[in-house]
Structure 1
Amino acid sequence: MRLVPVLMALAVCVGLWFWIVPANGQQVAAVDAPAAGADPRGEAPAVKVVAFRSQAQDVRNAIVLRGRTEAHRLVEVKAETAGLVVSDPLRAGAHVQAGDLLCRLDSGSREAQLAEAQAKLGQAEADAEAADTLAQRGLTAENTAKARRAALEAARAAARAIQLDIERLEIDAPFSGVLETDSAEIGSLVRTGDVCATIISLSPIEIVGFVPESEVDELSVGMPAHARLVDGRTISGEVAFVSRSADQTTRTFRVEIEAPNPDQGVRDGMTAEILIPVASDQAHLAPQSALTLDDSGVLGVRTVAEGEGGAPEARFEPAEILREDEDGIWLTGLPAEVAIIYVGQEFVADGRALDVTWKDWDGAQ
């Protein structure tokens, strides 16, 4: 009775063997057979891209800074003596020339003081002359003559001090410019050190910026420079000063550019973008969209290269950004002649066959 189950198990195993082995053979054959429509040589189909041919150009490199305009001179003209203002005030915005009167102060009792000092000076001169004569004759001591001469010098100094004080009653413009504030009002009391008027000179105008330490060695006094103001105006001048000491906080160096401003139309404190041309480089102009990264994260572009048999294929070329402008980006580190892919570059790798559509590209589109 035990033989029957054994025979039945054997029959089931034989049946399963005949059912599984032929199926596996068909699957292996299906895997080994080439797919319908595939390249029998195993090559991937060409990828469609858009590219343009570029020739390297001489590009004037430049250092670009953010800065501001500053007055060539700005001075608070202060009184050197005290007194009441007796002149009519000049209003803010008035143009003045060097030496023009800004404020006149009342002389008060200074004329009387000067007359007294001059009288004392005359007496001292007579005393000194008489003492010298007597000393020469031996009728008085030499020390007496020296004391009289000392008194004479003191009288001269006193008279001169009063004369200088009278001259300071008229406060003049130290240079040509424009009044930034009204001059002192008539009848107001001005003390020593009080401001009579603020005068500003905007011709020439100075544009001040701060250059990083990595670029400061490229600058020197006398280099041409350009600035674009917030209102769109452009002015040109030259570098007048490059600081030798860095700002302790920002580690940048102050740069001053001097530019003509004959009509004084450029004001003090305007924001400006400063461009200072430096050495030129060979570069390619390309759209920003052409930039990509390779597998190691290096920045560059995909280009069209000649593969086996002359067929176009993709090739990665590392590049560096020289600068950006309105038309695109300028790239260095590429061959003098190169075909840059700017549509479809993200879908190809080195050596991938390409189906290239050529288009001209010469600026932002």
Structure 2
Amino acid sequence: MRLIPALTAILVTAVLYIAVFEREALIAFALGDNAAEAQETAGDEPPEGQVVAAARANPIGVVAVRSVAQEIDSAVVLRGQTQADRQVEVRSETTAIVSSEPLRKGRFVEAGELLCRLDPGTRDASLAEATARLAEAETRVPESQAQLQEAMARLIEARINDNAAVKLSADGFASETRVAATQAAVRAAEAGVESARSGLEAARSGIQSAQAAVAAAEKEIDRLTIKAPFAGLLESDTAELGSLMQAGGLCATVIQLNPIKLVGYVPETEVGRVEIGAPAGARLVTGREVQGRVTFLSRAADPTTRTFQVEIAVQNEDLSIRDGQTADIFISADGAMAHFLPQSALTLNGEGELGLRVVGDNSLVRFVNVELLRDTVDGVWVSGLPDEADVIVVGQDFVVEGVLVEATYRETTE
């Protein structure tokens, strides 16, 4: 039983020796007499060149397809997620006890529908007091106006008496004492007018103050009824009956899912290809495909990632698309000429560059660098090839540039 492992070890050692130390002889044996002749005529040519020369003398069989470029919609591909069109946390503006039954999460609410009702407490009494003060202030205005009219009449009378006393004093029929008395009466009447005017202004200010107090009391009562700002779904239960709602306390969270937004981030190298209003689509993680249009493209880049936010509006009438789902986003951009080929045809050259090996002039292999535009289940769209090219799809990893090949062609759809 121990003889077999020993023989296996000897055999493996012999194979490794031949592969490492007798590599050139092995290649010559595999390629035949033409390879030997090529090796002799090559002189000091490196082993790789000898192999290529030998391969040119013996064409290598490969499978190729004749590919013709087609114009495709060169979409900008992003990774993003769904986002509610609107989401708001409805909070209280005052402090009171909740007096309404709670609405359960998941329910659809209309705009203006009651979410939470708070107990009024003494707010009705405060409103009644403010209303009474307003009525009292309004009664003071006519009184102040009457007092002003009376003061104006007294001023007119005082000025008439003063004019008469001055004329009589000039003719010698009135004493200077009387003139001084009439002038003092004028000044007193003018002071009375100013006082009456101040009283009227104070009465009017009292009305404005009372009106403000009434408005504040009414606003405080309005704050007791918390309503939905827009139609949407309740993402949380509304506040529980009997709980104390503080100012700023959460009543409910409402989200709007129709339309829903697709949010992604465009690299700065691709942002010039995206336009507002451009058609766009997305494939959700569930496999569902949706269509929409670009509604927003950020003007400022994210300082960390140097990307620009883009939003796409999508109809969601049945509300089946949820907030926060991952999506592959495709934004329509200017068309480009590309070839559709099997993904397996892609290969790397010695420098690690992505490309394809094609059958060039005189059936010699040529490596062409390509750019991957789109990856699908059935194949890939690439650019960088001429309009027509014979692309090697089987055996491309066993040949190098300059090698002579004998290509067998097949249809692109095979």
| Category of TM-score, reference length = shorter chain | 0.7 to 0.9
Q: Give 1:99 shift.
A: 0.9
Question: Residue 367 of structure 2 aligns to which amino acid in structure 1?
Answer: F
Equivalent in the alignment of 1:87: 100
1:68 corresponds to 2:87: no
Q: Give 1:90 shift.
A: 0.8
Question: Residue 260 of structure 2 aligns to which amino acid in structure 1?
Answer: I
1:285–1:362: 8 Å Cα contact kept in structure 2? Answer: no
1:275–1:135 CA distance, 2 compared to 1 (3 A): same
Equivalent in the alignment of 1:222: 277
Q: Give 1:160 shift.
A: 1.3
Equivalent in the alignment of 2:289: 234
Q: 2: distance between equivalents of 1:350 and 1:164?
A: 83
Q: 2:372 aligns with which of 296, 321, 324?
A: 321
Q: How does 1:264-343 map to 2 (within 5 A)?
A: 264-294=319-349, 299-307=354-362, 312-343=363-394
Question: Residue 284 of structure 1 aligns to which amino acid in structure 2?
Answer: H
Deviates more, 1:344-353 or 1:163-172: 344-353
Q: Give 1:39 shift.
A: 8.8
Equivalent in the alignment of 1:198: 253
Q: Give 1:59 shift.
A: 1.6
Q: 1:112 aligns with which of 91, 103, 125?
A: 125
Q: 1:127 aligns with which of 134, 140, 161?
A: 140
TM-score by length of 1: 0.83
Question: Residue 261 of structure 2 aligns to which amino acid in structure 1?
Answer: E
Q: How does 1:339-358 map to 2 (within 5 A)?
A: 339-358=390-409
Q: How does 1:11-22 map to 2 (within 5 A)?
A: none
Q: 2: distance between equivalents of 1:282 and 1:171?
A: 58
Per-residue CA deviation, residues 4-45 of structure 1 (Å, 9 max, x unaligned), is xxxxxxxxxxxxxxxxxxxxxxxxxxxxxxx99549996612
Question: Residue 296 of structure 2 aligns to which amino acid in structure 1?
Answer: F
Q: How does 1:253-272 map to 2 (within 5 A)?
A: 253-272=308-327
Q: Which has the higher helix share?
A: 2
1:156 corresponds to 2:211: yes
Q: 2: distance between equivalents of 1:121 and 1:305?
A: 98
Question: Residue 103 of structure 2 aligns to which amino acid in structure 1?
Answer: L
Identity within the alignment, %? 47
1:339–1:88 CA distance, 2 compared to 1 (3 A): same
1:95–1:313 CA distance, 2 compared to 1 (3 A): same
1:136 corresponds to 2:129: no
Determine helix, strand or coil for the equivalent of 2:209: helix
Kindly report the root-mean-square deviation, in angstroms, between the aligned alpha carbons of the 2 structures: 2.2
Q: 2: distance between equivalents of 1:189 and 1:294?
A: 72
Equivalent in the alignment of 2:237: 182
Deviates more, 1:106-115 or 1:150-159: 106-115
Q: 2:63 aligns with which of 37, 50, 53?
A: 50
Q: 2: distance between equivalents of 1:126 and 1:242?
A: 61
Per-residue CA deviation, residues 64-109 of structure 1 (Å, 9 max, x unaligned), is 1111111111111111222211111111111110111111111112
Q: Which has the higher strand share?
A: 1
Per-residue CA deviation, residues 118-166 of structure 1 (Å, 9 max, x unaligned), is 1111110011221122113326521121111111110111111111111
1:212–1:253: 8 Å Cα contact kept in structure 2? Answer: yes
Determine helix, strand or coil for the equivalent of 1:53: strand
Q: Give 1:351 shift.
A: 4.6
Q: 2: distance between equivalents of 1:288 and 1:211?
A: 25
1:304–1:313: 8 Å Cα contact kept in structure 2? Answer: yes
TM-score by length of 2: 0.73
Q: Give 1:295 shift.
A: 5.7
Per-residue CA deviation, residues 241-298 of structure 1 (Å, 9 max, x unaligned), is 1111111111111111111111111111111111112111111112233234456665
Report the count of equivalent residues. 325
Q: Give 5+ residue unaligned stretches, structure 2.
A: 1-30, 39-55, 152-191
Question: Residue 324 of structure 1 aligns to which amino acid in structure 2?
Answer: D
Question: Residue 214 of structure 1 aligns to which amino acid in structure 2?
Answer: T
1:95–1:297 CA distance, 2 compared to 1 (3 A): closer
Determine helix, strand or coil for the equivalent of 2:334: strand
1:316–1:190 CA distance, 2 compared to 1 (3 A): closer
Per-residue CA deviation, residues 188-208 of structure 1 (Å, 9 max, x unaligned), is 121221111111111111111
Q: Give 5+ residue unaligned stretches, structure 1.
A: 1-34
Deviates more, 1:35-44 or 1:149-158: 35-44
Q: 1:249 aligns with which of 304, 307, 315?
A: 304
Deviates more, 1:197-206 or 1:136-145: 136-145
Q: 2: distance between equivalents of 1:220 and 1:97?
A: 34
